[in-house]
Structure 1
Amino acid sequence: MTERGWRRPFEDPIDIGGRKLVTLLDAGEYIAELPKKEHEEAEWRAAMEALPLVVERGGPTMYVRIGIMRALNRHYVPEFNPKWKEPHWGRRKLKRDR
């Protein structure tokens, strides 16, 4: 049977600006301390919904970790670099271009 409860540790602790979230209880306390405006955003609500499911039903702690990481990185937009796109050198030539 899977271990349940608030004291369950994450497989890999979440580091948030010098603070480490090691257990589900730490994650719950961190989410509870958020300002109301941030607290009501969709990403944080998803993380909050995953938290009691994992605690009460013994689900994988990775669900909460993913929810928190998505909420923390919600404003990050990866930068597009056109040099990453490599040309396709194996193009076939059409009959008209021969």
Structure 2
Amino acid sequence: MTEPGWGRRFEDPIRIGDPVLVTLLDAGEYIAARPMKEHAAPEWQAAMQALILVAEGGGPTMFARIGVMRALNRHHVPELNPKGKEPHWGRRKLKRDQ
């Protein structure tokens, strides 16, 4: 049985260099220690809300972990290949273009 409340552990600890966030309480303290400008960012607010919901209302700790990971990676912009993958049959011609 899992421990109730803020002592619940993540399935996979969150490694942020030196600090390792193992429990919901560790993650909450890490967010609270952020500078106010960063702490007030919408991503961190959503992460804290997810932590509170999981700690007080129950539910999978994965939700809280996803919230924290999204907040940590908020400045990462994935590369986008505009061409994408072309289908093997090529582009279809419309009737009007024939």
Q: Shorter-chain TM-score: what band?
A: 0.7 to 0.9
> What corresponds to 2:12 in structure 1?
12
Q: Deviations over 1:26-68 (max 9, x none)?
A: 0011011000000000000001111121111111111110110
1:1-98 → structure 2 map (5 Å cutoff): 3-81=3-81, 85-91=84-90
Larger radius of gyration: 1
The one-letter code matched in structure 2 to 1:9 is R
Computed over aligned residues only, the root mean square deviation of the Cα atoms, in angstroms, reads 2.3
The one-letter code matched in structure 1 to 2:16 is I
Q: Structure 1 residue runs of 4+, over 2 Å off?
A: 80-83, 85-89, 91-97
Question: Which runs of no fewer than 5 residues in structure 1 stay unpaired?
Answer: none
TM-score, length-normalised on structure 1?
0.82
2-structure distance, mates of 1:59, 1:89: 44
Question: Which runs of no fewer than 5 residues in structure 2 stay unpaired?
Answer: none
Offset of residue 93 of structure 1: 6.7
State whether residues 31 and 48 of structure 2, in contact with CA within 8 Å, keep that contact through their aligned partners in structure 1. Answer: yes
The one-letter code matched in structure 1 to 2:47 is A
Offset of residue 94 of structure 1: 7.8
| Identity across the alignment (%) | 67
TM-score, length-normalised on structure 2?
0.82
2-structure distance, mates of 1:60, 1:94: 49
2-structure distance, mates of 1:50, 1:24: 10
The one-letter code matched in structure 2 to 1:5 is G
